[in-house]
Amino acid sequence: MSAYAIRQLAAKLGGLLLTLLLASIAIFFAVALTPGDPVTALAGGVRPTPELIEAIRAEHHLDDPVWMQYLRWVGGVLQGDLGTSFVYKTPVAELIAPRIGISLLLVAYAVVLITVFGIGSGILAAVRGPRTDRAVLIGTSIGVAMPTFVVAIVLIWVFGRVLGWFPVYGTGEGLLDNLYHLTLPAISLAVLYIAYMSRITRGAIVAQQHAEHVDTARVRGLSPSRIFRRHVLLNASPQILAVSGATIAGLIAVSAVAEQAFGVGGIGSLLVEAAARKDLPVVQVLSLLLVTVFVVLNAVVDVAIAIIDPDSVKSRRSA
């Protein structure tokens, strides 16, 4: 990497930290300014006596200025103290810890499906001739209009009622059983993104196939498979990678829908339940977590692109 690229990445890292800081402020203040007195929620259903209100306000530092409360919250989060759930009265960390594994597994499963079928079908569409291209085009046109909840109900009907090959509810015990249970949720999550990735991949490859450097390689007499790997795919990869990063990051938020539809007890369904019950500490932490993952993933992809193709940093900058 050139010094220029390193400077660009340092600037990127600074921007990332600033974005995270501002996002955490936005999330905290949005919730802090929420209509309704948090004391009512904290009292947990009982009509609070003045003494109880006093005790709750003191315990949660509600009489401090709001920026002090923000600093205390962020400081706590950085040290692993994620606060206490209004609804369960347990530490938020204890709610998240047992659920995060299954969510990661679900997202990873969907990412594998998207990579294999999305990028795979995109490559096929680009190289296999017009009939394959047309078939993939029709498939992806329908795919991009198939959101997770629609695929989910089709799968639940087909597999739950008609075929019965895969379970349509719950998570199971042990890794293999987990994967078995997560198959349909992962497919429901992946379909729209497979179609999207397929289109991006095809477009990136077709653009490279007609590039001058590929013609040059052909004239030099290189074998078609070598041309494809070294010249077409390698040069198309930054664009494919850029979209993959944003896609995976978005996937984490949408996984809540798949979890809810198939009764998977992950952090997505925890977030939905917490929002429905106004469990603000849980919603705050999970939003911050999802935003952090989203921002960091996008930054990691930018770095990966800069390593594969250092020129792209410069050219994208000037574009």
Contacts of 307 (CB under 8 A, 6+ apart): 1
Q: How many residues in total does the chain contain?
A: 319
Q: Which helix (H) or strand (E) element contains residue 36?
A: none
Work out whether 53 is an interface residue with other proteins (CB under 8 A): no
Q: How far is the CB of 228 from other proteins (least distance, A)?
A: 28
Around Cβ 93, how many Cβ atoms within 10 Å? 14
Of 38-46, 226-234, 236-244, 283-291, the window that binds other proteins (rule: CB under 8 A) is 283-291
Cα 115 from Cα 129, distance rounded (Å):
21
Is residue 150 part of the contact set for other proteins (CB under 8 A)? yes
Measured distance CA(71)–CA(80) in Å, rounded: 14
* Residue from 96, 113, 125, 261 binding other proteins (CB under 8 A): 261
Residue 197: how many CB atoms within 10 A of its CB? 25
At 33 the three-state DSSP class reads coil
When asked if residue 49 is in the footprint of other proteins (CB under 8 A), the reply is no
* 3-state SS assignment for residue 84: strand
> Which two three-digit tokens encode residue 79?
């040290």
Q: Is 253 in the site for other proteins (CB under 8 A)?
A: yes
In the complex, minimum distance from the CB of residue 174 to other proteins, in angstroms, rounded to a whole number: 25
Query: Judged by CB under 8 A, does residue 206 bind other proteins?
Result: no
> By CB under 8 A, is residue 271 in contact with other proteins?
yes
Interface with other proteins by CB under 8 A: which range of 62-70, 176-184, 203-211, 278-286? 278-286
Which member of 90, 157, 163, 224 binds other proteins (CB under 8 A)? 157
- The CA-CA-CA angle for residues 166, 188, 198, to 5°, reads 125
Tell me which residues touch other proteins (CB under 8 A): 15, 18-20, 22-23, 26-27, 30-31, 34-35, 141-142, 144-150, 153-154, 156-157, 160-161, 168, 249-250, 252-254, 256-257, 260-261, 271-272, 274-276, 278-280, 283, 287, 290-291, 294-295
